Structure 1
Amino acid sequence: MNSISRRKFLKITGFSVGAAAAVTALNPLVKGANKLNQQKLKGIQKIPTYCDICFWKCGAIAYLKDGELWKIEGNPLDPLSKGRLCPRGTGGIGAVKDPDRLRSPLIRTKERGQEVWKEVTWNEALDFIANKMNLIKEKYGPESVAMFAHGIGGNFLKHTLKAYGAINFAAPSFAQCRGPRDVGFELTFGESIGSPERTDIENSKCIVLIGSHLGENMHNTQVQEFADAVQKDAAIIVVDPRFSVAASKAKYYLPIKPGTDIALLLAWMNVIVSEKLYHQEFVTKYGFGFEQFAAEISQYTPEWAYPETGIDPDLIRKTARTMAMYKPASLIHPGRHATWYGDDAQRSRAIALLNALLGNWGAKGGFFTPVSFSLPGYPYPDYQKPTKEKLDNPDNKYPFASEEITTGIREATITGKPYQIKGWFVYATNLIHALPNEEETIKAIQNLDLMVVVDVIPSEIAGWADVVLPEAVYLERYDDLHMSANKTPFVGIRQPVV
């Protein structure tokens, strides 16, 4: 019996119902459709921009109906959204019309922790902040003001603080999200995998997901490509203690014990190396120390991994052979939000090594080689040279960190070492929940002379601020150009649509 896809089924049944209901009226409807659409388009204005609900920054088109924001859709010219947005992206209209939006600057009137405020003008708020910043600069130096930010919108404020003399800037999205993963891939391949990740899922013949919930996490391009891969009968292998949406589409589901992922990865590599299933040309050309690696990996058999992971040795071998069979169009997804158990950089190294054995770096169906380009940078002035070093990573505790460590700034704020931090600017990130150990964050806040929160809506961290400044929603402002090294290079512009 011929198989039929759900997509084709819906197309067929949709047409059949329409035909059965109104077969004699079909021609007049078709003839009148163009005229009807033209009438509906009267008073509609389309303005391109890009989304800011998550880090994907999908290209979008905002529709204004009689001057009012009506709806948001994906931009078909954008290689990321491919003309589609996730529900959060289309729901961006709610950010503009949210009744709980911050509308005016606020200054605290009682001690921190008591959310008692007075509304003030912008001039009053800025004067208050400037006076506090001058006092901090005179007593401690400009380096004693730090900034925490998330998203592209914070760049304007960052340059303002650079002009002031600040040098400590950090984002929780590094150490608390993608940092360990980036380190693992950089140590293996010499470069990270970017954001969004350079996965060629649409051409993959075997996709391995380790705690990656495609279909639930709304990573737009990857979700679309994953759906297409499922339609094309790609072999899906899902490793997750929880039976996820992706697991429901899998050929093999491995309900692993939490925290034992490295053991499974080692066993997979053991099978691929011992059975000589690896991509020998790639390993010979690009590998370094393979003989040492092969000798070390020989002890981590599927039988060794079984009591650790709870995964049957036969299933470990079967899935390892499956991913090797489709190499190099076989992809172990690197994941995101990779900070799990404290062994995260090592787990990411294991994922990267397994991908290397499959020879998929730069290969179709693996990790594509992005087309890079450059544009002239904005001519910012030369800022004053700092007299102190950044303090987020004292004694080079994290030698492979490529970005600032948020908890390092928090620790310095508490201890005053190697120097005092007396001012925090917090842009679009809720540090109470974005950083681990809430008590430590509150303890650090109590040592500040000034904390300014800039955001669209109230949050827990705003409740501890001295000054709260309302930010414009992304649909109301300009931001930096969005340049992304992708399969197809592109530049996105953000501009006000309302």
Structure 2
Amino acid sequence: MNSLSRRRFLKITGATFGAAVAVSSLSEVVKGAEKVEVKTGKKVKGIQKIPTYCDICFWKCGAIAYLKDGELWKIEGNPDDPLSEGRLCPRGTGGIGAHFDDSRLKAPLIRKGPRGSEEFVQVTWDEALNYIAEKMKKIKSDFGPEAMVLFSHGVGGNFLKHLMHAYGTPNDTAPSFAQCRGPREVGFELTFGDVIGSPERTDLRNSKCIVLIGSHLGENMHNTQVQEFSEAIEKGATIITVDPRFSVAAGKAKYYLPIKPGTDMALLLAWMNVLVTEELYNKKFIEKYAYGFEQFQYEIAQYTPEWAYIETTIDPEVIRETAREMARYMPATLIHPGRHTSWYGDDAQRSRAIALLNALMGNWGKKGGFYNPTSVNIPKYPYPAYPKSEKGAADNPNHKYPFAEGEKLSTGLREATLTEKPYPIKGWFVYGTNLTQALPNTQETINAIQKLDLMVVCDVVPSEIAGYADVVLPESVYVERYDDLNNPLFREGFVSLRQPVVDSPNDQKPNWWIAKKLADKLGLQEYFPWKDVEEYLDTRLRSAGLSLPQLKEKGVIR
């Protein structure tokens, strides 16, 4: 099947015929499409400033949305927020485009042709949710609640995760994890007993030597990291950049090492060889915290800079000089752990090597290295206990991947759908992730979808995965909705609020509303006892001695 273009799908979403109308071909839908009328509400004259936090990426930077005469005008960083510190990246400042995007999904759709045929009709929310609820009830009756899977990305998926756990399935997964920071987290947890987290616990602003190997600070959009990296450069930090190409960070580096692609592990081993054989490592740290150093010392002896030169094409003396430079500034030397760490198949082991190199610097819990994060203690909402799954999760049967226990494996759940082992998977609910693009091997994803009894996609714009859906649900974008509280582990504890700035222009709904309404139709009202999301948020905040009105005023409490 050809992929579904945004333009073609937009024409479908603009169609205003009801469910009773006979299904039309795609060309007929496009020809007869009309624009859904934009809602009009009370608009305030003048300039309004409303705090929220961004959703264009996972960083969740605090922002201030400006309204001019009731219309969304611009978005800037919130100076009270510790992640943005008053600044946003170009993605963040361009966030107003999410609200005004002409290609947005405008109303619920139900498939009327074969799956993948891209034949949909517009329906009401009640019709769409009734359809989903009936299918989910049948799946639960025939196969058990574990036969439903939620694929989600972002904080907006929290209420849907809660719904799925209340329904009885343990199968929820973030497809981004294994392709992004999953190997890194496994590598660091195996080494230090803890993960790096998000936002990363890197004290870049106080680092005196920063090593970038597979990390493109200055080109990615990790706001806090880029700000702190710039601050370190201004303070005179030594930058060592390893990259096959001359990147932005390479242009700021004292040492630029143009490595042969795919040989990072060899360089990491050679660096450790120099530090150990020349006794440049942090001996106090290793003696106090390390186990098995003697075995490590014996093993690393064979990986000399001369050996690494054959692999990497980097001069042995450059390898030695850069290793000595790291040792000169330890423990304020940071070998950046990177993100998007799935490369060549040995990714967890490469991350372990980066973790071991950091350990030789003795920088865990040290200024300029990895800080010990903290957070504000905000209790969860007092929900009833979830029903216990009799079958357990389907993503990693027999613990095939013994170190991948922190997050469910999206590819594992896809495999379970294809093979029906360890048990059948019959329903997918996809929120905020384009699975045909997010998971490797697109054809396997499509083959798995064809085995489903229910496929729901909830998103803000058309995507390739939506073309295979049975039901498409249009969500309000982040400037139009509340989401759950942002309360991450960071160098200082804080909590921030995403709140609606403007109304949704058409028949879009926020994720919390979708989850609550679907719960009502599934008979799970006890898991959504709050009247609306404001009551939910205020309940959580007041249990921590705070309140929603207090947080709405500035958008962040720290």
Tell me, yes or no, whether TM beats 0.5. Answer: yes
Give yes or no for the alignment of 1:482 onto 2:486.
yes
- Corresponding position of 2:220: 217
- Corresponding position of 1:138: 141
Kindly provide the amino acid, as one letter, of the partner of residue 133 in structure 2: A
Kindly provide the amino acid, as one letter, of the partner of residue 488 in structure 1: E
- Corresponding position of 1:320: 323
Counterpart of 1:221 in 2: which secondary structure? Answer: helix
Residues 375, 487 of structure 2: 8 Å contact kept:
no
- Distance in 1, Cα, partners of 2:246 & 2:398: 43
Residues 199, 489 of structure 2: 8 Å contact kept:
no
Kindly provide the amino acid, as one letter, of the partner of residue 425 in structure 2: I
Give yes or no for the alignment of 1:465 onto 2:501.
no
Give yes or no for the alignment of 1:198 onto 2:201.
yes
The CA deviation at 1:42 is: 8.0
The CA deviation at 1:383 is: 2.0
Give yes or no for the alignment of 1:62 onto 2:38.
no
- Distance in 2, Cα, partners of 1:42 & 1:477: 22
Q: 1:182 aligns with which of 182, 185, 197?
A: 185
Q: 1:277 aligns with which of 261, 265, 280?
A: 280
- Corresponding position of 2:291: 288
Q: 1:108 aligns with which of 111, 123, 126?
A: 111
- Corresponding position of 1:238: 241
The CA deviation at 1:381 is: 2.0
Give yes or no for the alignment of 1:349 onto 2:336.
no
1:137-187, Cα deviation, whole Å (9 max, x unpaired): 111111101010000001111212222222200111221111110010001
1:386-416, Cα deviation, whole Å (9 max, x unpaired): 2211110011011111110000100010011
- Distance in 1, Cα, partners of 2:350 & 2:312: 14
- Corresponding position of 1:303: 306
Residues 110, 471 of structure 2: 8 Å contact kept:
yes
TM-score normalized by the length of structure 2: 0.81
Kindly provide the amino acid, as one letter, of the partner of residue 323 in structure 1: M
The CA deviation at 1:373 is: 3.6
Residues 152, 431 of structure 2: 8 Å contact kept:
yes
The CA deviation at 1:64 is: 1.1
Kindly provide the amino acid, as one letter, of the partner of residue 404 in structure 1: K
The count of aligned residue pairs is 458
- Corresponding position of 1:171: 174
- Corresponding position of 1:455: 459
Tell me: CA distance 1:428–1:297, structure 2 relative to 1, closer, same or farther (3 Å).
same
Q: 2:432 aligns with which of 428, 431, 434?
A: 428
Q: 1:379 aligns with which of 378, 382, 390?
A: 382
Counterpart of 1:69 in 2: which secondary structure? Answer: strand
Counterpart of 2:240 in 1: which secondary structure? Answer: strand
Counterpart of 2:49 in 1: which secondary structure? Answer: strand
Counterpart of 2:487 in 1: which secondary structure? Answer: strand
Q: Which moved more, 1:477-486 or 1:96-105?
A: 477-486
- Corresponding position of 1:152: 155
- Corresponding position of 1:400: 403
- Corresponding position of 1:497: 501
Kindly provide the amino acid, as one letter, of the partner of residue 105 in structure 1: P
The CA deviation at 1:226 is: 1.1
Counterpart of 1:62 in 2: which secondary structure? Answer: strand
- Distance in 2, Cα, partners of 1:372 & 1:278: 32
- Corresponding position of 2:254: 251
- Corresponding position of 2:540: none
- Corresponding position of 1:37: none
Counterpart of 1:484 in 2: which secondary structure? Answer: coil
Counterpart of 1:338 in 2: which secondary structure? Answer: coil
TM-score normalized by the length of structure 1: 0.91
- Distance in 1, Cα, partners of 2:231 & 2:138: 58
Kindly provide the amino acid, as one letter, of the partner of residue 440 in structure 1: E
The CA deviation at 1:484 is: 1.6
- Please give the root-mean-square deviation of Cα atoms over the aligned residues, in Å: 1.1
Residues 376, 495 of structure 2: 8 Å contact kept:
no
- Corresponding position of 1:88: 91
- Distance in 2, Cα, partners of 1:234 & 1:400: 35
Residues 153, 433 of structure 2: 8 Å contact kept:
yes
Structure 2: unaligned runs, 5 residues or longer: 1-43, 503-558
The CA deviation at 1:46 is: 1.1
Counterpart of 2:398 in 1: which secondary structure? Answer: helix
The structure 1 segments of at least 4 consecutive aligned residues displaced by more than 3 Å after TM superposition are none
- Distance in 2, Cα, partners of 1:269 & 1:167: 41
The CA deviation at 1:44 is: 1.2
Residues 375, 494 of structure 2: 8 Å contact kept:
no
- Corresponding position of 1:362: 365
- Corresponding position of 1:28: none
- Distance in 2, Cα, partners of 1:197 & 1:429: 22
Counterpart of 2:297 in 1: which secondary structure? Answer: helix
Residues 218, 248 of structure 2: 8 Å contact kept:
yes
Kindly provide the amino acid, as one letter, of the partner of residue 490 in structure 1: F
Counterpart of 2:138 in 1: which secondary structure? Answer: helix
Give yes or no for the alignment of 1:99 onto 2:102.
yes
The CA deviation at 1:371 is: 2.4
The CA deviation at 1:234 is: 1.1
The CA deviation at 1:336 is: 0.2
Counterpart of 1:483 in 2: which secondary structure? Answer: coil
Counterpart of 1:482 in 2: which secondary structure? Answer: coil
Kindly provide the amino acid, as one letter, of the partner of residue 365 in structure 1: G
- Distance in 1, Cα, partners of 2:134 & 2:45: 52
1:269-306, Cα deviation, whole Å (9 max, x unpaired): 00011111111111111111111111111111000111
The CA deviation at 1:194 is: 1.0
- Distance in 2, Cα, partners of 1:121 & 1:274: 70
- Distance in 1, Cα, partners of 2:422 & 2:101: 43
Q: 1:333 aligns with which of 331, 336, 347?
A: 336
- Distance in 2, Cα, partners of 1:431 & 1:236: 37
